[in-house]
């Protein structure tokens, strides 16, 4: 019960910001704090994965000039 209660508490948004006639999807409350923490942790992980993929040369040995063809030619 404690785990379920804490999960419900941290998913709670106290109010949503409204500008003009449009609701902006920013919940102010514990969920905003957890979203900020998650974003700050996810960014370096995503960057590391991207750099790893960049190092993997998956197109090695494939010639653009040899494999390029325009339909209709």
pLDDT at residue number 33? 77
The burial of 31, by beta-carbon neighbours within 10 Å (0-12 exposed, 13-18 middle, 19 or more buried), is given as: middle
From CA 59, how far away is CA 56, in angstroms rounded?
A: 9
Q: Which two tokens stand for residue 57?
A: 């040369």
pLDDT at residue number 45? 92
pLDDT at residue number 38? 86
pLDDT in tens, the chain (73 residues): 888 887 777 777 666 667 777 766 666 677 777 778 888 999 899 999 988 888 887 778 888 888 787 654 5
From CA 14, how far away is CA 32, in angstroms rounded?
A: 10
């Amino acid at each position: 019960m404690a785990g379920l209660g804490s999960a419900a508490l941290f998913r709670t948004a106290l109010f949503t910001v409204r500008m003009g006639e449009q609701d902006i999807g920013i919940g102010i409350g514990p969920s905003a704090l957890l979203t900020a923490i998650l974003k700050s942790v996810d960014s370096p992980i995503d960057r590391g994965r991207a750099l790893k993929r960049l190092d993997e040369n998956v197109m090695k040995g494939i010639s653009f000039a040899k494999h390029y063809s325009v339909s209709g030619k």
